[in-house]
Structure 1
Amino acid sequence: MCWPLTVLALLLAVGTFAWQTPGIGLVGSLGGYVPGWLVLLGAAGVVTGGIAWFVEPSAGVPVATALSAMAVAAGVKVIIDQRAALRSVGVETVLRDYFGPFLRSGARPDDVVTYGPVRGRYPRMAVYRPRPSESPAPVVVHVHGGGWMSGDEVGDKAFCRYLSDRGFLVFSPTYTLATEERPTWESAPREIACALTTANALSVQYDGSADAVYITGSSAGGNLATLVANRVAQGERFGLEHGRIPRVAAVAVNIPAVDPGFAEGTAYAFSGGLARRFAETYTGGTPESVPDRYAAVDASNFLSRQSPPTLLVYGPNDWLVPREATLTFARRARIMGVDVRAVPVPWTGHLIGLSGAGGRAIAELTVEWFRRHGE
């Protein structure tokens, strides 16, 4: 029994530290998201190894026991690194955070509305209302991820409900999803800009503030959030004829695909093709065939001194959206004088939502960032 436990624990340990290794890195890197289970599996291997040695000593038992002990050490290191990194930015983790997601479920939205029209389409938008308050609630627009090809307005309901429970009025729009026959590099940002306009118009109806909005997004949603916020800051109206596009007071995104062109350079063998498929379906081609489109969806190209304060939470071991894109965006923003903060969650990557530590960081830092940059 000790060897199966040892092999499983070793897979998670090796995959976490060798996350770029095809196959083992994709599966084994889960140890970086749930290191508590890595510690428990390794400890179980040590215990069963001791029992096996007592019952029937053999040459393989000490080897299995030693490897299990190494897995325990690996899991402990991950926990220590994550705890220290998040404590340095004011986030205190708890034991449960190392065994599964921070946000496990969330109540359905309080309402679902449509917005538009944008080129004849009326996309849906979920509404999450906070508890009644004497003052208008600050408004957040959350943009879902999914590689621009999947997702909907209720896919991130747990995160949206977390924000509404902390006093924010949250609107979560869907947008036209890209297909091979229908690239949406131009229409999706326009729809999100329209969603900002609609959220601003509906805010009073839902007891929210119409002065400004905050915007969040994950992965592809992080691209749309940063892209639209920076273009709006430069005064762009996205061809919208009706309504006022509100000022974006602050941006908070996680594992953001700020520059889809970085997908073309993803070296990770297993997911590189997937990353390129997302980017090429969204834009309708490669960076060589449609360079103008890639330039138009690279959020860093629209940074300016007017850009809103931006928080970026990312996983350094991201095999889908290279961390270099996030760090490049942050460096360019600082050069422009933008208030930007890039926070890594060690040993995590694009599945950061599976990490309790990562999920807690995203949730708590988003709230803190918006409150710091409140009106």
Structure 2
Amino acid sequence: MKVIARLLSIPLTLIAMLVLWLAVSPFTPHISYWGAGSLIGPQYIGPLLLIALVLVILAALGALASRSCYVPSVLAGIALVASVGLLGTQIHAAKEQGTDVDIPAAFTWTGVEKADEGPDHTVTYDSFNGDDLTMDIYSPETHSIRSGSSHPRKHPVMMYVHGGGWDQMTKRSQAFNMRQMAQRGYLVLSIDYTLSSWEQPTWKVAAGQVGCAMNWVNAHAADYGGDSERFFTYGESAGGQLVLNATADVAAHPSQLPFTDCSGTPAVPSAVYADSPALDVRHIYDSDDPYAGQGSRDTVEKYLGGTPKEYPDRADFVTSATHLTSDMPPIMIVRSDHDRLVPPASYDDFRQRAKDKGVELEEYVRPHADHASALSAHGVWNQHLLQAMTEFFQANDLEDDL
């Protein structure tokens, strides 16, 4: 028994150290390299808590046979306490925001890119350099009828723009959330756009492609049961920046999109929800985080075709604050308190510009979280995202109820 316990102590110690790192780092995010665990821990803290609990039990049983299991016992115990504390903080904060948290669901380990079924349709909304730009369509699963009318009621439309630093990820990155929003009665659209690379910076075209997708909404949403006058946009990280910039542009120029070569008149969004939007490339480029800093700089350089100092006009063009006008519809921004990829200071100019222009801006800060922490399908923060976004869109709908 002692031999088995000693053999088990090594893997138990290693696993306990990993879980401890992911559970504790959200409380200590500013420790170099160590704090990078906060990019993962808050998203999957439910499953990590279960792992810590199992480790505590196994290590305690091993400690009865050998002192070599004392170390993993202590490590697993600390990880368990930290996990309980972090999950409890998330639940409390989400409930304060009105989220009806499904606590058992938070213990499952599924990413938002996973969905039980794919989109109902995929269409081409534009092209760029000979390549098709495509859009996934998720049809509403409810079919409401207008009161006193025998005609089917058209559904509100939500368009999602994915994140990934302008150079990665796809329109399927939040397939779970797309289907969830369709189940809530929205015609959901998720678009691809041209990704940046060292050979092809996209600072001038990406937001314009989002605007071209808004042209498609105005022209074709009704073909799929959607109402283009009840139109909402959502994006996270780089997608949040793109959707904010495009929404601001079409709101200010509703008859014809600037900075694009696509024809048509865009649908004008009634509200925009942005999760951890990359509002200011200068702040992102200047990140001094030892873990994420170089990646952030590379991302910005690929997007701009160089550094913000080399191309200040390009940096100004993509900075979201420069696009805001008094015509901008209501905005909700949800971000994290310790975002190492999009520094909190990057929101300051945008917040002031919104105030100066009289733009309605709501902002919520997730505690003990890092960049885009709502990427676990059943995690507390994604539960909050789905409920908060639905309520925000409903509050800004032209009609009182779905």
Same-fold status (TM-score > 0.5): yes
Residue 317 (str. 1) matches residue 338 (str. 2): yes
Pick aligned residue for 2:36 from 2, 22, 26: 26
Tell me by how many angstroms 1:143 deviates.
0.9
Show structure 1 runs of 5+ residues with no match: none
Tell me by how many angstroms 1:14 deviates.
3.4
What CA distance in whole angstroms lies between the structure 2 residues aligned with 1:241 and 1:6? Answer: 55
Pick aligned residue for 1:237 from 252, 257, 263: 257
What CA distance in whole angstroms lies between the structure 2 residues aligned with 1:269 and 1:162? Answer: 37
Structure 1 residues 260-302: Cα deviation after superposition (integer angstroms, max 9, x where no partner) = 2221121211211111111111111111110011111111122
Residue 47 (str. 1) matches residue 57 (str. 2): yes
Closer, same or farther: CA 29–177 of 1 in aligned 2, 3 Å: closer
What CA distance in whole angstroms lies between the structure 2 residues aligned with 1:122 and 1:64? Answer: 53
What residue in structure 2 maps to residue 365 of structure 1?
388
Closer, same or farther: CA 158–9 of 1 in aligned 2, 3 Å: closer
Tell me by how many angstroms 1:109 deviates.
1.4
Contact 2:214 2:268 in 1 (8 A): no
What CA distance in whole angstroms lies between the structure 1 residues aligned with 2:230 and 2:51? Answer: 49
Contact 2:281 2:308 in 1 (8 A): no
Equivalent residues in 2 for 1:1-375 (5 A)?
Answer: 1=9, 3-27=13-37, 30-56=40-66, 58=67, 64-95=72-103, 96-101=105-110, 103=112, 104-116=114-126, 122-131=132-141, 132-133=143-144, 134-235=152-253, 237-238=257-258, 239-240=260-261, 242-326=263-347, 328-352=349-373, 353-354=375-376, 356-375=379-398
SS at structure 1 position matched to 2:122: strand
The one-letter code sitting in structure 1 at the alignment partner of 2:81 is A
Closer, same or farther: CA 116–351 of 1 in aligned 2, 3 Å: closer
SS at structure 2 position matched to 1:123: strand
Q: TM-score, normalised by structure 2?
A: 0.84
Structure 1 residues 126-166: Cα deviation after superposition (integer angstroms, max 9, x where no partner) = 11111334211111111112211123333332221111111
Closer, same or farther: CA 11–119 of 1 in aligned 2, 3 Å: closer
Structure 1 residues 32-53: Cα deviation after superposition (integer angstroms, max 9, x where no partner) = 2222344334434443444344
Closer, same or farther: CA 36–177 of 1 in aligned 2, 3 Å: closer
The one-letter code sitting in structure 2 at the alignment partner of 1:215 is T
Q: TM-score, normalised by structure 1?
A: 0.90
SS at structure 2 position matched to 1:217: strand
Tell me by how many angstroms 1:332 deviates.
3.5
What CA distance in whole angstroms lies between the structure 2 residues aligned with 1:225 and 1:135? Answer: 27
Pairwise CA RMSD of aligned residues?
2.5
SS at structure 1 position matched to 2:228: strand
Tell me by how many angstroms 1:324 deviates.
2.8
SS at structure 1 position matched to 2:310: coil
Identical-residue share of aligned pairs (%): 27
Tell me by how many angstroms 1:240 deviates.
4.3
Structure 1 residues 59-89: Cα deviation after superposition (integer angstroms, max 9, x where no partner) = x665654443332221121112111111111
Contact 1:330 1:342 in 2 (8 A): no
